Chain A
Amino acid sequence: MGSSSKKAHESFSVAPAGLNEAPQSPLLAAATSLAGNPSSFASLEDTSVVASGHIAAETEKLLGQEQGAVDPDALQLTPDQQLSSLANGDLVTPVPEELPVGDATGTPVLAGGADLYDSLVTLVAYRSGTTSREVLYATVDEAAEAKLLEALAVGDKLVPVQVTEEVIGRLPVDKDNQLHEQIATVAKSVNHHLKDGSPIPKHTLDKVELLTAKLERLGTECEAPVDKAMLSHYADALAVVKERLEPDYGTSYDKGGKVPFVAPYETTGKVTVTKYMAAPADPGSGLLPTQVRDATRVKPTLASDGTTSWNGSSRSGAKGKEYLVDLGDGFEAVYRPYGVNDAASTEFSLRGALEITGPKGPGRAAELVDRLGQLNLVNLPMSHAEAEWTYLQRNVWAQQLEHHPSVAAAAQQAHGLEDAVEHVLFAETAHKAVGMSEPELHSFAKGLRLEAEAKALLEKVRVLREGVAAAVGLADGATLYASSGYQPVPRRRAGWWVWDRFDVAVKKPEVTEAFKSRGLTHNVSGGNVADLFRSGVLASTERRHLMGVGGGKGMSESSDKLSGGANSVFLRVKGKPFKGPALFWDKPTRLLSRADWYAYDGDHFGSVNPKSHFSVKGQVRDPLALAKFSSSSNEVMFRHGIDLLGAEAPSLVKCTSAKQRQDVLDVLSEKGVTELGGRPVEEVVQC
């Protein structure tokens, strides 16, 4: 990125790929031919010869046939210049030169290629003393892990290392006599019966008596001060339990009668353990020096004003292993490989997680993104052509067009294009490979592949656009491109990007009418709803992890699967809520114009077994079908979350009390927010 970031703020107008293209291009013919006879070496050679002389003319022709917003400069570009233009300036989400310091949601940038999950790079500038520390976060797609690992010099020999660790533990007397277990059991039982008003059962009363006697006996037997302190701790806790058993005890369960948490009595100590660490790899390999260590996470602090800080070194432990990669010049990458972290035992959202840090101070965002290249990952932000490709794919999914014959045919044609172009390029440049060393050959092949991907993209977009246009009943791709709802660029929402679907934009009045007085709701529990507006987002569990808020640090992926997905937030089709705390959107198209939602008219339990047909049975992505949902347990899932303060703001924030309403209004006032969805906050926030 380094050099490309200089053009980050320039505005480019680039012609859409291949509008009004009538006849099948030679390139497409090559791809079709290749797809039709993939095992024929002769046909590959023929294809190369046919296509090689036409790429430049074909691409120029495609660009030149665009009507309307054509950049005159773009028309004069050769294919190589066009490729260069894509690399340098035609960026959907340029990397900002400055990041907002302390912004917990971070700044999202869409990356090119398919190496990163959701194409998403999140750049966070933490407050750090008088300056800032910038961190890049991304999740590497599992399919891209192999090439990332090729860049690393991971020592394959394990050497024993003596490590001093602090351990927490209970005293032997406690463990041998199961003191904490027994008192926890009686405390739970007493609370269980106090809550429902039922009498405390005899077996619980008996356990209290036995425990009392045991504590007394141990008090006479144990002499060590630490044992006596432990026994005193449990005796005090037992006294609290016994107080609840007195006939005249009158404090109700919900007014302080609940027996408080009985903490285990634990002490700390230092132990020396032998751990086996990977030995440093051969420094002469030219690869990146890499250490293996227990997994960690950046440990930021979230201030009451919603800003986030990190001192650059504080990290919390996590379950799993990670690679610490020295990128040079004070830059480091931390990567948690899929291959060495089992989903069942590794902490949720950790597998594939990548972070890159650099030296303290602002202005490093572009270099952080650039450093992805050292890891063999695409380090260019998304181009407009890639954006339209993504946009079309998202719309195919959202509008359930994937099985339409014209879309299926387009997808098949597009699939063969990259290989076809690569063969063409190889035929043209194979002579350059003569005499190359093995590393040089690898680099040469990698370069050819990247060039092929870029050159094939414009044609792939054209092909898919034509297929989608036919599927939705339009004359051709140009008509689709010119239609009012077609917006092949994403919109930023809080710390992520969302793609629109062009059908909802057209159907807005129809969808609004179908919902009548109903809308989308979300009930908030567990604390002050004002906290939600402090962060400004209704965020998925996954996004909350990134922001450094919420619990669950340590939860495994397999455990999360039972929840039905931690990368979405759940809304319901329902009428206006009468009680809070709840959020309500009376104009559902405000959210349904996104291309990432899906829904079920009733709770769905198939997520544990995603390979099963059962996992998507009954899934709805049609807003008119959604409007007909009748079950209270219906669910509408939105990826990442919802931006509560911007264009996705709710039309009603229903609070439980005047105080809660005032708390929300105070937070909004602190943030300088006076309107939500174009209406004064006092109108939107109600109780």
Chain B
Amino acid sequence: MLSAALTIRITELVTGGDPGLSTGAELAVRSASGELAFRAPLARHWREEVGERCIWVRPIAGGYEPTERRPGDPPYLFSLNAARRRGLTWTTASVKGETVVLELAGGEVATIGPAGEDLRPELERWDSFVLQLLPSELEQELEQLEDDSWQGQHA
């Protein structure tokens, strides 16, 4: 289980805390030797697996400008199959400055920190997609972080 301080810190990073939607978090995963393997902004929800050293997050992926659109259609969408949940199974967890550092069971090192400037536009587009376009019931499903695949609209 994560400590209360770590739980609070991850929640602040992911949700944006007091400043709200103007900030957010990113996930970076590096090999033990420091090689960057993965980096993406994070959707504004996460959860801890009960009884396990594992947290679930949703890196934002699969964004695209639809190739066919009519006037008034959303200009940017996401494939929710691409923006699938990812699990971080950790062995040690700590805070370094503003960043949460998780040493993963597979030997990689994951960091959750403030989203870089280059990732902010995609995070903003994701917020627009979720907070404006998705029906609230789909939004709730996303937040449960139980999905292995999506069917239907926005799959």
Q: Which residues of A contact B (CB under 8 A)?
A: 168, 184, 187-189, 191-193, 195, 201, 253-254, 258-268, 316-319, 347, 521-529, 531-532, 538, 541, 544, 549-556, 559-560, 562-564, 566, 569-572, 600-609, 612, 614-615, 617-618, 631-633
Contacts and interface: CB of A to CB of B under 8 A. Distances in A.
A68 B79 CA distance: 53
A166 to B, nearest CB: 10
Contacts of B133: 261
Contacts of A600: 106
Interface in B70-96: 70-75, 77-84, 86-89
Most B C-beta atoms less than 10 A away, residue of A184, A188, A318, A570 = A188
Contacts of A264: 72, 75
Given A266-B72, A560-B62, A602-B105, A551 B132 contact: no
Contacts of B54: 631-633
B7 interface: no
B153 A563 contact: no
Most A C-beta atoms less than 10 A away, residue of B35, B37, B79, B139 = B79
B155 A552 contact: yes
A538 B137 contact: no
B67 to A, nearest CB: 4
B65 interface: yes
Nearest to B143: A195
A485 to B, nearest CB: 30
Interface in B13-43: 20-21, 29, 31, 35-38, 40
Contacts of A527: 150-153, 155
A605 B86 contact: yes
A69 B35 CA distance: 54
Closest 10 A/B residue pairs (Cβ): A633-B87, A527-B152, A552-B79, A526-B150, A525-B147, A562-B61, A266-B71, A605-B38, A554-B64, A263-B72
B72 A554 contact: no
B6 to A, nearest CB: 18
Contacts of A195: 139
B112 interface: no
B67 A559 contact: no
A553 B67 contact: yes
A563 B141 CA distance: 19
A556 to B, nearest CB: 7
A188 B104 CA distance: 34
Nearest to A613: B31
Contacts of B104: 602
Given A168-B69, A603-B88, A531 B151 contact: yes
Contacts of A632: 49, 52, 54, 87, 89
A238 to B, nearest CB: 14
Nearest to A319: B67
Nearest to A552: B79
Interface in B116-155: 127-128, 131-133, 136-142, 144, 146-155
Given A526-B141, A538-B149, A617 B107 contact: yes
A263 B81 contact: no
A563 B78 CA distance: 12
Contacts of B141: 525-526
A264 B142 CA distance: 25
B12 interface: no
Given A526-B138, A532-B151, A552 B64 contact: yes
A529 B137 CA distance: 15
A608 B38 contact: yes
Contact of B67 (A268, A525, A549, A554): A554
Contact of A603 (B71, B87, B140): B87
A53 B62 CA distance: 59
Contact of A614 (B31, B52, B132): B31
Contacts of A553: 64, 66-68
Contact of B84 (A268, A319, A532, A563): A563
A411 B127 CA distance: 52
B63 A555 contact: yes
B49 to A, nearest CB: 5
B146 to A, nearest CB: 5
A245 B25 CA distance: 28
A262 B133 CA distance: 8
A318 B71 CA distance: 18
B52 A258 contact: no
B37 A559 contact: no
Given A254-B136, A524-B151, A552-B82, A268 B106 contact: no
Contacts of B78: 551
B82 A188 contact: no
A478 B93 CA distance: 55
A633 B89 contact: yes
Contacts of A605: 29, 37-38, 86, 108, 110
B132 A184 contact: yes
A556 B59 contact: no
Nearest to B150: A526
Given A524-B149, A527-B151, A631 B65 contact: no
Contacts of A572: 148
Contacts of B153: 526-527, 551
A202 to B, nearest CB: 12
A158 B69 CA distance: 29
Contacts of A319: 67
Given A192-B20, A541-B81, A562 B38 contact: yes
Given A522-B149, A527-B152, A560-B61, A602 B37 contact: no
Contacts of A260: 132
Contacts of A544: 155
B106 A570 contact: no
Most A C-beta atoms less than 10 A away, residue of B61, B87, B146, B149 = B149
A316 B67 contact: yes
Contact of B62 (A254, A559, A606): A559
B59 A562 contact: yes
Given A267-B71, A571-B148, A187 B106 contact: no
Given A562-B62, A633-B54, 14 more contacts: A187-B132, A188-B21, A189-B21, A265-B72, A544-B155, A551-B155, A554-B65, A555-B79, A556-B64, A563-B83, A569-B149, A570-B148, A609-B37, A633-B89
A564 B147 CA distance: 15
B89 A631 contact: yes
Contacts of A254: 136-137, 140
Contacts of B49: 632-633
A559 B21 contact: no
Nearest to A561: B61
Given A531-B151, A552-B81, A602 B67 contact: no
A431 B87 CA distance: 65
